[in-house]
Amino acid sequence: MLASLIGTTIEWYDFFLYGSAAALVFNRLFFPEYDPLTGTLLAFTTYALGFVARPVGGIVFGHFGDRIGRKRLLMFSLVLMGVATVLIGLLPTYAQIGIWAPIALVVLRLVQGFAVGGEWGGAVLLAAEHGDARRRGFWASWPQAGVPAGLILASGVLALLSALQTDEDFMSWGWRVPFLLSAVLVGVGWWIRTSVAESRTFEAAIEEAEAPPKVPAMDVLRERPMGLVVGSGLRLGENISYYVITVFSITYVTEVADLSRDTALRAILIGSIVHFFAIPAFARLSDAIGRRYVYAFGALGLAAFSFAFFPMLGSGDMALIAGAVTIALVLHGAMYGPQAAFIAELFPTRIRYSGASIAYQLTSIVAGSLAPIIALTLYQRTGSAFWVAVYVAAACAVSGITALLARETRGVELASIR
């Protein structure tokens, strides 16, 4: 559990650091010839490319994870993400090398997306397949908790540097420090993960099988198409809402509400701390009363709250802004907590890495990758956040309905899924 949590925290620290920097720094340093909102839109486009690479990473890592095991693939994804993040911290800007700066940024973002696409499935399965059926939701939720933990680290480091530095120093060199710190974090993660044993459920499945699956992704498409449909439906609202809450809201607070960068980062930081504890709490609740009802509560609750979210963000009051982000992330936690076990329980062990990764990552192309871009475009064209709220609410409604229509999987033995 600790290895999954630490590794996922580091991976998502790297991934979210890019998202925060896209909203605060990259629009000016890599796309300086555009107005602030257009520059931010272009920065978000490079941000979105990381999501396009995630399904590819999920398929590749899933293929080998179902054939040779979960652990070795997790070690590789950790190093790959760390190297890409450190190199982003060393990149020259547009002013120094011109068009090659954003091109290099795009390439490294694709590497980040590829790495994180393979990370999630392995980390979740390592925890879920070591845990027992009675508490699987709780066990599998800790890699999920690594997501807000990574965001806490990313936002916290950025907020600290922003508070200690002038705007000129932060834009000149301060923004690079969090990216370079990734090297230290990857070293810690590597040390912890080397001591973890391979999933016993996977090893038992390999012993029973005559041979590992040749192309696990094709077996998933042939044997579990409805698993992919359910997993994608569960992911849609959760993924869109999260990136609107944590990425687009930074732009909304700084560029639209005209408040300080520190205000936006502090609100995200407060909400993420609460989110970290909400995820395992709701996962434990799903072990007691079922995945479907907890998931639907979060999805439909967030669909309703989205219409209050933006008025609270634009109020100019720090308490209301922090409250908006916190309430939204708590409702998101009701989806994200049970999600890992819910999706893992849709697939048999021999193709579980591929199935869970594809279901989880494929949605990212049309959900999380485009969410900040669609939200910003809707606001630019209408001048109102109301239609952004409609966008979030509709996506969450899809996830809520999917959860209610899905088969309940709480307490099922992973080895019994065929």
Predicted pLDDT at 234: 96
Give the tens place of pLDDT for each residue, 65-103.
888 877 788 788 888 888 888 998 999 988 888 888 888
122: in domain: yes
Predicted pLDDT at 36: 64
Question: Per the structure, how many domains does the chain have?
Answer: 1
Task: Of 289, 236, 276, give the one whose Cα is nearest residue 396.
Answer: 236
Backbone torsion region of residue 387, taken as left when φ is above 0, otherwise alpha when ψ lies between -120 and 50, otherwise beta: alpha
Please say if the pLDDT value at position 396 is more than 90.
yes
The domain that contains 88 carries what CATH number? 1.20.1250.20
Predicted pLDDT at 280: 96
184: in domain: yes
Range 130-144 average pLDDT: 87
120: in domain: yes
Predicted pLDDT at 270: 92
410: in domain: no
Predicted pLDDT at 305: 97
Name the token pair of 176: 């690079």
Q: What is the dihedral of CA 120, 335, 356, 234, to 10 degrees?
A: -140
Please say if the pLDDT value at position 33 is more than 70.
no
Name the token pair of 184: 């230290």
What is the Cα 349 distance to its own chain's centre?
A: 24
DSSP 414: G
| SS3 of residue 210 by DSSP | coil
209: in domain: no
Radius of gyration of the chain from its Cα atoms, rounded to whole angstroms: 20
203: in domain: no
Give the tens place of pLDDT for each residue, 187-222.
887 887 777 777 777 777 777 766 677 888 899 999
Where does residue 20 rank: exposed (0-12), middle (13-18), buried (19+ CB within 10 A)? buried
What is the C-alpha to C-alpha distance for residues 313 and 321, in angstroms, rounded to an integer?
A: 5
Name the residue range of residue 258's domain: 2-194+214-404
Give the tens place of pLDDT for each residue, 224-251.
999 999 999 999 999 999 989 988 888 8
201: in domain: no
Where does residue 68 rank: exposed (0-12), middle (13-18), buried (19+ CB within 10 A)? middle
Most confident range (mean pLDDT) of 58-72, 90-104, 288-302 is 288-302
| Residue pair 355/346 in contact by the 8 Å Cβ criterion | yes
199: in domain: no
Mean pLDDT for all residues in the chain:
85
